[in-house]
A and B are shown apart, each in its own frame.
Chain A
Amino acid sequence: MKAHRRNKLIAIISGLALLSGAVALILYALTENINHFYAPTEVKEGNAPLNKTIRVGGLVVPGSIERSGERLYVEFKITDNQSQMIISYDNILPDMFKEGQGVIAEGQLVDQNKLVATKVLAKHDETYMPPEVEASLQKYGHPMQPRDGDESKQPSDKY
């Protein structure tokens, strides 16, 4: 049964080689492609890097949505109820995008106040709040109404 042992050894060694290769690649690819999340206050304080893909999130400030009128280009402000920042976006906004709603924008900061977004995530559901936004509101802002015990807290979701 020597051949069988040898086969097993080869299988184990190549498996390990494949796995360690995979792990090395994963670690490399992860450090390149992690998008950290920042609240507007953190962006304002200069904690977020410029010209690197990050995510920011907050509530869309009512009355802050400005459309260009000539193109799809749109600018709006988001807030964590302490600081505000501007998001610009040159694409069709998701259907559920609304004033006062929690959104997440992915893109790069051009300065400490403005993010050029490549992606805007608004939820499929209006009563849903992204966990990141919820946490940053808890931390920096003072949520307008306590969400606990709120009728809209009734879990309502898709699927």
Chain B
Amino acid sequence: MIPELGNFFLILAFINAILLGTLPFYGAHTNHKGLIQFAHRASTSIFLLMLVSFVCLTIAFIQNDFSVAYVANHSNTQLPIYYRISAVWGSHEGSLLLWVLILTGWIFAVSSFSKSLPAEMTARVLGVMGLIAVGFISFTLFTSNPFERTLPFIPIDGADLNPLLQDFGLIVHPPMLYMGYVGFSVVFAFAIAGLLQGKLDHQWAKWSRPWTTVAWIFMTLGIALGSWWAYYELGWGGWWFWDPVENASFLPWLAGTALIHSLAATEKRGAFKSWTVLLAILTFSLSLLGTFLVRSGVLTSVHAFANDPVRGKFILVFLAIVVGASLILYAIQSSKVRSKSNYTLVSREIAILFNNALLAVSTFVVLVGTLHPLMVEAFTDGKSSVGPPYFNLMFSVFFIPILLLMPLGQQINWKKDDLPMLLKKYIWWFVSCVVLALLLTFGLNGFTFEALEPMALLGTILGLWVIAGTIKYIQLQSAKGKTRWAGMRKISRSYWGMVLAHIGVAVTTLGVVLTSYYSIEKDIRIEMGETVEVEEVSVYFKDFQNIQGPNYISSKAIFEVSSSGDFIAELKPEKRRYNASQMVMTEAAIDPGLFRDVYIAMGEPLNNGAWAIRVYYKPFVRWIWLGAIFMALGGILAMTDKRYREKKFKKKVSEEAVSNGQ
């Protein structure tokens, strides 16, 4: 009964989406108050309908209703309750339902927080989002319905959730990432609504900015969580593989980052308007492209996905319609958009132009590498893949200038600045970064310059340079106040956000570079009671146990890791075999630290009760994700800046004034 209810509400949401995707446009066009008001009501109802539908599926999982095919394939009576709930989005159908729920959540949010916008604008924005909802709900209903029954042959027990997904990281990672993917639909809807209206002023950019930033925050955290999960769960110590599915999330992130910057120029200076609009369209298109790559299974990836050609075609057609229609609209309407461009060659506008050009090219590079196998397959018979060296090389080539210019870009004035003066302020800071980086890599390299990797040095210099440049920025800005403290307080919250996010980029860069070049990994054979030296640390095999988990049996080893006699940590890696699926899982054990991780994964049992284990020593690996947290915090500061709340406040004041006057 409950699954049918869920399906019923999904169908109602579909009808609701169709209404939301059509009537508000007509209302905005004819200035019909009722229809414009309808957009808000339909936004609330569609969210509630999807919520109920989603709760229905969750109940089916909690109650182990194996008459539902999706539940039977992805759950099991032995599964702990929290994993039964997260199993709702553990696979294609349910995660799509979550996707749609999040989309309607964004619709509801836009409708609730847009009181300060002109009514027709809001109606159009909600209408565009309604149309997107039509696409995704029909995708769910017609190709991937999670409520389908397995009648009349109901299995006694379910096939179990993939053990890899029975993990905290996978409970939170997909929802975060979807918040990001879908969140970019808001700025897309703003862009389309603006184009329809033929009015894209700085107000438009001001409204779009916080929404873009929120989506970007979720995207950043979602990607970082995925990377962190891959690191500790897949058991081979990697944190990024340039896998097509990873790239699918990285592409909209890169484009979104460019968009955040160009929106700043559009809002503050009225520059690059048509480019910003195009970027908004492209960012969401890349989100959809990512969805297509992930859901269609056209690319070989370490992630496994549905191989149903119908689904691939559906998304491809949807992608073509969205991209095609919005680009045609852009072509027709963008000539009406005029940018002011009274800036000189040395100005923040140009700095942002560089930022955008470099980020756009980086996006392009990743895009080509990701789609290349598909193009090869389309034109020749061969199959191929593009290796990580391509991405590492190409991405660094364009990311180095980004980091190099970042400190200057944040300091340089709008409109006009003096380049020699600017460089003079920074030269000693740069020189000290070079010295510091030399010392740091000298130390990490084992106190010798022999075989020092030039890229490791360069990366360290650039990471430090961005941090130093940011500190210098705060110093220069705070000098404008009467006292240093007053000056600091004068820096607005959104600039603090920028500072924090840029430091985040630097921290991530340092993490990536230092882990990549200074990690140690060793495979060793170890017997119980034996101590094996791995570079500076020694590993002692203390104990071995077989234990019984809730839905698995596990071989657990206990190792004591110490360094020159000092105890570091007791690590307990496991090899688990899950009862329902009989799949074997390697659970790595990690001793995390701000400056290094010690990581042990169990390989295979060898002769005489010995085990092959893999020991990693990974310096600065935490910094990769720490940087992402900084970026996200920076985003939060930027979007909560008071000028986004100003408008509402003013309105309130004027309303009060009116009521007082009466």
Contact = CB atoms under 8 A, between A and B. Distances in A.
A151 B650 CA distance: 63
Contacts of B358: 18
A135 B345 CA distance: 55
Interface stretch (A33-41, A77-85, A109-117): A33-41
Nearest to B306: A155
Contact of B389 (A11, A32, A72): A32
B307 A129 contact: yes
B90 A158 contact: yes
A70 interface: yes
B298 interface: yes
Interface string B431-457: 000000000000000000000000000
B398 A158 contact: no
B614 A92 contact: yes
A156 B129 CA distance: 29
A33 B357 CA distance: 25
B303 interface: yes
A156 B525 CA distance: 37
Given A92-B586, A157-B305, A159-B305, A7 B341 contact: yes
Contact of A36 (B69, B384, B583, B614): B384
B342 interface: yes
Interface in B128-173: 159, 162-165
Contacts, number: 169
Contact of A55 (B91, B304, B308, B385): B385
Contacts of B390: 29-30, 32-34
A130 interface: yes
B47 to A, nearest CB: 23
A88 to B, nearest CB: 14
A69 interface: yes
B604 A159 contact: no
A117 to B, nearest CB: 13
Contact of A156 (B73, B303, B344, B612): B73
Contacts of A104: 300
Contact of A131 (B297, B311, B604): B297
Contacts of A14: 357
Interface stretch (B111-119, B362-370, B547-555): B362-370
A154 interface: yes
B357 A15 contact: yes
A72 B345 CA distance: 59
B372 A158 contact: no
A125 B304 CA distance: 6
A156 to B, nearest CB: 5
Interface string A1-27: 001100110110011001100100110
Contact of B601 (A10, A70, A90, A92): A92
Contacts of B92: 155-157, 159
B304 A7 contact: no
Interface in B339-374: 341-345, 353, 357-358, 361, 364-365, 368-369, 372
B364 A22 contact: yes
Contacts of A33: 386-387, 389-390, 393
A150 interface: no
A3 B164 contact: no
A51 to B, nearest CB: 15
Nearest to B94: A159
Interchain residue pairs A-B with the least CB separation, the first 8: A155-B306, A37-B383, A33-B390, A125-B304, A128-B304, A123-B304, A124-B304, A33-B387
15 contacts: A4-B341, A10-B345, A25-B394, A34-B384, A34-B386, A35-B384, A70-B606, A92-B235, A92-B614, A106-B385, A125-B304, A128-B304, A157-B92, A158-B162, A159-B294
Interface of A: 3-4, 7-8, 10-11, 14-15, 18-19, 22, 25-26, 29-30, 32-37, 53, 55, 67, 69-72, 74, 90-96, 104, 106, 121, 123-126, 128-132, 135, 154-159
Given A7-B341, A32-B389, A92-B236, 18 more contacts: A4-B341, A7-B344, A25-B394, A26-B369, A30-B368, A67-B606, A71-B523, A71-B525, A72-B604, A72-B612, A90-B523, A91-B236, A92-B601, A124-B302, A131-B383, A135-B383, A155-B92, A158-B304
